[in-house]
Amino acid sequence: RKEVEQDPGPFNVPEGATVAFNCTYSNSASQSFFWYRQDCRKEPKLLMSVYSSGNEDGRFTAQLNRASQYISLLIRDSKLSDSATYLCVARPPGGSYIPTFGRGTSLIVHP
């Protein structure tokens, strides 16, 4: 079983739609979580960190559910420019804090 699992999609949604992705992690000791965005043939870029209390940044909302070991990303009012792959990341609590990336979820927003 992979440490961080994501549905690869693609999620195909119209502009203006609300879309949500989930990501599960297997290491219950993981402490830090992130969502990265990766455009085709480009490097990953941090979208947002995920806090225990949940956090929101404009149209993007991230939630953490420790009991069920998953994090979620909600995108409201989708834009064409949101089309990308969204990578979920979990980091352990100590040692080298080496992050584990999921395989990513592909989002395609169409007119």
Partner 1 sequence: GAGVSQTPSNKVTEKGKYVELRCDPISGHTALYWYRQSLGQGPEFLIYFQGTGAADDSGLPNDRFFAVRPEGSVSTLKIQRTERGDSAMYLCASSPTGGGTDTQYFGPGTRLTVL
List the x/- string, 70-89, binding to partner 1 by CB under 8 A. -----------------x--
Binding to partner 1 by residue 32, rule CB under 8 A? yes
- Structural tokens at position 50: 């995920």
Query: What is the closest distance, in whole angstroms, from the C-beta atom of residue 81 to partner 1 in the complex?
Result: 19
CA 6/CA 57 separation, integer angstroms: 22
Query: What is the closest distance, in whole angstroms, from the C-beta atom of residue 3 to partner 1 in the complex?
Result: 10
**Closest C-alpha among 16, 17, 2 to residue 87:** 2
Q: Are 109 and 78 in contact (CB under 8 A)?
A: yes
Binding to partner 1 by residue 45, rule CB under 8 A? yes
- Structural tokens at position 100: 């584990």
| Interacting residues toward partner 1 by CB under 8 A | 4, 8, 31-32, 34, 42-46, 49, 87, 91-104
